[in-house]
Amino acid sequence: MRKFTVFVFVAALLVLSLGVTAQGEFAGQTIVVVTQTGRSIGGPVEDFAPEWEAMTGADVQLQQFAFGELYEKMITAFETGSIDYDMMIFPADWAGDFMAPGYLEPMPQELLDALEPDDIIPLYADRITAWGDTVYALPYDGDSHMMYYRKDLVNPESPYAAEFEAEYGYPLDEPQTWDQYFDIATFFNGREVETAGEMLPIYGVAEAQRRNAQSYWVYLSHAAGYAKTPGNPCFFFDCADMTPEVNNPGFVRALEEYVALRALGPEEMINWDVADTRVQFPAGISVFNIDWGDVGPISYNPDASVIVGDTGFAPLPGGTEYWDSQADAWVTPESGVNRAPFIAFGGWIIGVAADSDVKEAALDFAAFMARPELVRQLATIPDTGINPSRYSQLNVEDVSLWVESGFDEEGAVDYLSAILEGISHPNYVLDIRIRGSAEYLSVLDTEVARALVGEITAQEALDNVAAQWNDITDRLGREEQLAQYRASVGYGE
C-alpha cells in the first residue's frame, strides 16, 4: 500500500514536471506525418522537425512507406476514417482522390498569406495545390520534365559541329525539336568521345523505359509536343465527352519515336527507371537524358558525376507539328516548333487531413516545412527530391545559393532558366489528376511496354489504351470523371 502511494506521488510529480517543462503552442500534441521512404522528400522532415518540436512543444512522428504502397496507405486511412495520419506529403497527381472528396483541410488564407504567395509560380499556387477554387495543399517541390545534354559535345564550336552540319544540314546546337534531338542522338550513338579525360564510346540517349516504374512519364514528355494543342488545356481526354485522345496520331508518332530510341541507348535501358538514368547520365554514358530537375544538382556532385560543368539544361524539345484533335489534322506552328512542357507528376505537396484531431498543429508544421527560406535551401541540395516551385528559387539574378551548393554561375543560370521556361510556358501539359489516375497510367505503362519490345505496334498499343481508358471511365462514372478532368485542367475558366 505504501509502495503504491509512493508510486502515485512520484507519477504525479512527473506529470507536473512535464507540464512545467513542455511549453509551446502545441505542447503535448503529436502529429503523424506520412510520405515515401528514403531521404528523398521525407529526409528534410527528419532533419527539420526537431527545430519545430523545440519551438512548439509538439512531437512529430514520421511514417514512411515505399512509393508503391503509399497511395494505398493514405487512401485507406481516408476512406476508413481511421485518422492514421495528420499531415501528408504526397504526389500532386492524387488530387482527384484526396482533394475532390474533401479528405484534406482547406488551407487557411492567413497561412497562405504568410508564405509569400506572390513568390509561388501560378502553376503551383492556382492549379497543382488547388481543386477548383480551394487550396488544399502547400507547394513543397516543383516537378516538370526537362532535357539534359552534354554541352561539351553539343554546341556550335564542338569538334563534331562541322561533320554534323555536313551530314544533317543544320548547325549542331541545343535541340529545339524532337527531330533534332533524334538526329543528334543518332549522330553520336556508338561514337568515341572524350569523357573525363578518356576516349570512350557514348550512347545517344539514356531514357527510363522500365515497365512498372516511371517511364510512361518520359514517353508522355515526347507526346506533349506532338499532341498538345495550344489554347486547349485538355490533353489526355476530350473535354466534351471524356473520349481518350491517347490514340490520336500525335501520341502514336511520339510512341514510335520513343520505341526507336531503344536503338540509341544501352540495351539495358529497357530495365532502367529514373533512379538508374540518374546514375548513368552523370557517369557520362549518353548525350541526352530526360528527367525531372533532380539531375541538375547530381550532375554537379563530383562524387556522382564525371561531367561536372559539361551538362547543358534545357526545356523539353517540341514537335515540328502537332495533332489538333478538334480540327482532326496536323498543324505546323508559325514558329516551327510546338513546345508543350510536361508537368509530369506535378511535384510533392503538403496536405493536412480534414479529420485530424491536431489540425492546428499539423497546419503549423506544414507551413514550417513549406516556408520559402527552407524550400529554397532544400532545392539546392542533391537527393532531397525537392525541385524549385517559387520564383525566388529560380531567380537568375541571384544564384549564390546554387553556387554555394556546387554549381558554377553559368550552369546555375542555365538550369534555372530551363525550369522556369518549362513551368511558366502557356502551353504546359498537366498530368492526369483525377480519380483512378493510377489505373489510367498503369494501363498506359503496360501497353507502352508491349510496344517497346515490338509485341504490338504503337497504334495497336495506344488503341488498347484508349479502349481500356474508356472501360475505366465507364466503371468510375463518365460524368463524374469528366467533371473532375475539366476541373483538374481548368477547362472553361
Binding mask 252-291 for another protein (x = CB under 8 A): --------------xxx-xx-x------------------
Q: Which of 25, 51, 72, 192 binds another protein (CB under 8 A)?
A: 72
Residue closer to another protein (CB basis): 218 or 419: 218
CA atoms within 13 Å, Cβ hemisphere of 341: 24
The answer to whether 82 contacts another protein (rule: CB under 8 A) is no
What CA–CA distance (Å, rounded) separates 416 from 366? 26
63 vs 155, beta carbon nearer another protein: 63
Segment interacting with another protein, rule: CB under 8 A, options 142-150, 294-302, 306-314, 473-481: 473-481
Let me know: does 422 contact 341? Beta carbons within 8 Å: yes
Q: Choose between 17 and 212: whose C-beta lies nearer to another protein.
A: 212
**Site for another protein (CB under 8 A): which residue of 436, 466, 484, 485?**
436
Rule CB under 8 A: choose which of 46, 69, 192, 479 binds another protein.
69
Question: Which of 97, 105, 143, 174 is close enough to bind another protein by CB under 8 A?
Answer: 97
CA distances for 241 relative to 220, 341, 470, angstroms: 22, 25, 11
Which residue's CB is nearer to another protein, number 87 or number 448? 448
**CA distances, 264 to each of 109, 281, 370 (Å):** 50, 14, 40
Question: Partners of 349 in the beta sheet?
Answer: 90, 139
**Cα 128 from Cα 280, distance rounded (Å):** 31
SS3 332: coil
> Cell digits for 358?
491536431
CB contact at 8 A, 286 and 265: yes
Distance CA 26, CA 24 (A): 6
By the rule CB under 8 A, 101 interacts with another protein: yes
Nearest residue to 246 via CA among 468, 483, 6, 477: 468
Total binding residues toward another protein, as defined by CB under 8 A: 32
Q: Hey, what's the cell of 243?
A: 473520349
Please say which residue, 429 or 451, places its beta carbon nearer to another protein: 451
Among 50-58, 166-174, 206-214, 408-416, the segment contacting another protein (CB under 8 A):
206-214
Mark the segment that binds another protein (CB under 8 A) among 123-131, 295-303, 396-404, 471-479: 471-479
d(CA 50, CA 29): 14
Question: Residue 216 CB, nearest distance to another protein (Å)?
Answer: 12
Q: Please report, as ranges, the residues that interact with another protein according to CB under 8 A.
A: 68-69, 71-72, 75, 79, 97, 101, 210-213, 266-268, 270-271, 273, 435-436, 438-439, 442, 446, 449-450, 452-453, 455, 475-477
